[in-house]
A and B are shown apart, each in its own frame.
Chain A
């Protein structure tokens, strides 16, 4: 809850870190262990009530990471409920008849563990890390609050005040207005255009009844994927799951209704957002991709490698053309695959004194050149080698692996899709990568967001104000 909002635009850190790394890349990739003495590879099974459980063994240290991913996010809210998925996430810590309020926190704390929860457009995630012996207790408590949550009015009121504070903390930062402007242009009336935190107005309407309605409508085993990483085997987890998660009633049939992307961008748009807490111009150009489910797996893999080649690290085109040339302090590319539509984004932060037009023209030139001619064979070979060589770091970090697997399954990939990623990258050719990359870069439906210091704004523009121009 302390970082309850998983929201890539709200923290200034991303806006001026050297490589402007996106905080949420829905699909980051990992590989099969390469060594004989490594633990068994990740595996999954499904309980009779529809709950999927994935086990990611790692026996180096006697700890476990336990994550419950609900395929429930702000995208599942009705128009008058914006922010309730996140509000409910806070209230999920308020206890059940069996495990009263504070019990969960105390168990995690006494075990020396850590826990948190995040809500994004696509998913709500509850996660804990604990010494191994605490696993069954955690599973029992998570299973219990999947169906037995109690919300009293007093807790609902306190938590509404806390969520409001969280909203105000976000509102201090340029990320929130920048998100509204750019996501509005990209996604139109789709809930992706809203922010998971909600608005000042919507938060004021929150109460116990509203949260409970949302809980009853969505929370059930078939909407959840549990990922358990660390010092356990699938057999261990099967035994524990029989005593815990398997006892949760399956609930009514899955009420998830697909949210169609109705009014996405149809042409190139440019959105300027002035803000007093910005010291340097920040530009992000986003291209719409199909949803993770709708995109052929090979294309998604190729697009990921494409964004890596164009925008990751010092050898990349963007770094060389913008940072080394003295125009920007950072530049990056990221692919975000999601349940209903994804984005490929390239972004860069100007150095002080570099005019917006100069940086934007340079970014344009680089992307136009790639759209016309593609990436070349030398950079393809070098960057592919680099990408494959660094996969060993994923093996070293079970927390990241569990997180990546959970997010990937939420957006519609299978476990095999995730585990086969490295192999698919190995088999990609330059032509594969250029085919998908160039097609997207030549797609006219782009949104360019430009975040500028308030004092560079045209007269009359306010921090909240935005100007939208359309061009082709």
Chain B
């Protein structure tokens, strides 16, 4: 409930922000959607487009939108500008300061918050449909007249510094940050979304305003809606909400990370269990390759039944956790994984994990493994679509990754068409052991 009020930075959240750059876990990608209301494309009179799944059973509206261009659009000397633009999105608008705005939203059970990723700034809004009129009025105010008051600005700054400080002492934080540096080199993606201690010391509300005026626009806007609202009402709403924004964003091309040769680093920390992360970047896979890569990752890394779980955990007892996943951003992607193992076993666990990944990529899966994985991906269709909030998240993902509106309806057939050769060729693109970067954090012997 009300997760949009929560800004946390768990290991996975950190990993997602550092490595996944706007991606969504493959397990959430759904399939046959015959039992779900259809996806509608709504175009407002003013030309703003949105995807909608209308669902009337629960009196809720989940409304998400994002502006392409997140932290990656930060000016080099103002890292963190995007983070502040996201943080301050619900911190006061028009005549209402933070407390007045929160009180108004609270009373009607509505809420919204911004969240900054490397590739975009996302806003997640929800409201009981009984109170939608007032809730959308407040959202419109936040879009058109943010206040950027001193108190929330300073609170955001303190919060950013505190999370950088915590990352510095957390084993997972240290591991992921170093891996991001190895993978993404001089690109913005190597740095924390919040910025650095140096940039946080100088950034002002004027910088945040400048960023907002550059990046919050109608041509890089994506809108995804699910719940108790119909296309007509949404269409009128879109023009009303976003009319104040400029037509065009001023986005600068973001650098694509270079590919480095394989490299391992061990960072000494007195830990009971070592944390190991590994990864490499690759050019973005196309739609078909992407599905085949998901089949590959499912076979490799599904919990309880994946090869890594069965071999490295169950057969060898080397690890408690081991996984591998894809992180997809706008123009490229990262294949990465992590494991936790006793200090004296972590080297062997990493070697065996990489060896199993390589073996699966080289030899390919068995026909039975392919069928199981395809069945799993098809069956998991609805698991990520059970709440209004999950539905709108899926629609936003489709927009961000330029999927056709028929993606959900055709997913089943697309999965069914994947052959063993598709999986083989996708895995050859995905797994690049000669470029694999790895970092272990733990007791160095």
CA distance A39 to B57 in the complex (A): 9
Known: A61-B35, A385-B107. A112 touches B380 (CB 8 A): yes
Residues of B within 8 Å of A164, CB to CB, are 342
| Interchain CB contact (< 8 A) of B317 among A158, A320, A382, A390 | A158
Residue interface bits B145-182, CB-to-A below 8 A is 1, else 0: 00000010011001101110110111100000000000
The interface stretch among B188-196, B245-253, B356-364, B385-393 is: B385-393
Distance in Å from the Cβ of B445 to the closest Cβ of chain A? Answer: 16
B10 touches which of A11, A157, A278 (Cβ 8 Å): A11
Which residues of the other chain, B, contact A131 by a CB distance below 8 angstroms? 379, 381-382
Residue of A nearest to B323 (CB): A2
By a CB distance below 8 angstroms, the chain B residues around A13 are 8-11, 13
Contact A34–B59 (Cβ < 8 Å): yes
A109 to B376 Cα, complex, angstroms = 5
Say yes or no: A385-B106 contact (C-beta < 8 A), given A2-B321, A12-B166, A112-B376: yes
The reply to whether A279 and B166 form a contact with Cβ atoms under 8 Å apart is yes
Interface-lining segment among A339-347, A394-402, A430-438:
A394-402
Judge whether B266 is part of the interface by a CB distance below 8 angstroms: no
Give Cα A34 to B128, complex, Å.
12
0/1 string, A147-171, CB within 8 A of B gives 1: 0000000000110011011111101
**Is there a chain A Cβ closer than 8 Å to B214's Cβ?**
no
Q: How far is the CA of A277 from the CA of B58 in the complex (A)?
A: 43
Taking the complex as formed, is A389 at the interface, i.e. its CB lies under 8 A from any CB of chain B? yes
| Complex interface: chain A residues within 8 A of B270 (CB) | 276
Task: List chain A residues, Cβ under 8 A from B35.
Answer: 61-62
Given contacts A110-B372, A111-B379, A386-B107, contact A351 B126 (CB under 8 A): no
The 8 Å CB contact of B165, one of A11, A19, A280, A385, is A280
Q: Does residue B383 face the partner (Cβ distance < 8 Å to A)?
A: yes
From B55, B162, B272, B380, A279 is in contact (CB under 8 Å) with B162
Q: Are A35 and B59 in contact (CB under 8 A)?
A: yes
For residue B76, CB closer than 8 A to chain A, the reply is no
- B240 contacts partner chain A, Cβ-Cβ < 8 Å: no
Interface residues on B, range: 35 or more
Complex formed: what's the CA distance from A165 to B372 in Å? 29
Inter-chain contacts of A218 with B (CB < 8 A):
none
Interface-lining segment among A136-144, A321-329, A443-451? A321-329
What string of 1s and 0s marks CB contacts (under 8 Å) between A100-116 and chain B? 00100110111111111
Q: In the complex, what's the smallest C-beta–C-beta distance from B331 to chain A, in angstroms?
A: 30
Indicate if the CB atoms of B320 and A109 lie closer than 8 Å: no
User: Given contacts A109-B372, A162-B320, A165-B320, are A17 and B382 in contact (CB under 8 A)?
Assistant: no
Give the CA-CA distance A16 to B167 in the complex, in Å.
11
Chain B's nearest CB lies how many Å from the CB of A198?
A: 14
B144 within 8 A of A: no
Interface residue ranges of B283-320 to A (CB < 8 Å): 302-305, 313-315, 317, 319-320
Residues 336-371 of chain A, each 1 if its beta carbon lies under 8 Å from chain B, else 0: 000000000000010110000000000000000000
Given contacts A112-B375, A172-B171, 7 further A-B contacts (CB under 8 A): A21-B6, A39-B57, A61-B36, A168-B342, A315-B99, A320-B99, A396-B58
Which residues in A have some Cβ–Cβ distance to B below 8 Å? Answer: 1-2, 11-13, 16-19, 21, 28, 34-35, 37-39, 58-63, 93, 102, 105-106, 108-116, 129-131, 134, 157-158, 161-162, 164-169, 171-172, 276-280, 313-315, 320, 323-324, 326, 329, 349, 351-352, 382-383, 385-386, 388-400, 453
Q: Which 3 residue pairs spanning A and B have beta carbons closest together? A: A112-B379, A389-B109, A17-B8
What are 11 of the A-B contact pairs (CB < 8 Å)? A17-B7, A106-B372, A108-B304, A109-B304, A112-B381, A162-B320, A323-B155, A385-B106, A389-B109, A392-B128, A393-B60
Residues of B within 8 A of A (CB): 1-2, 5-11, 13, 27, 31, 35-36, 55-60, 98-99, 102-103, 106-110, 126, 128, 131, 151, 154-155, 158-159, 161-163, 165-166, 168-171, 270-273, 275, 302-305, 313-315, 317, 319-321, 340-342, 372, 375-383, 385-389
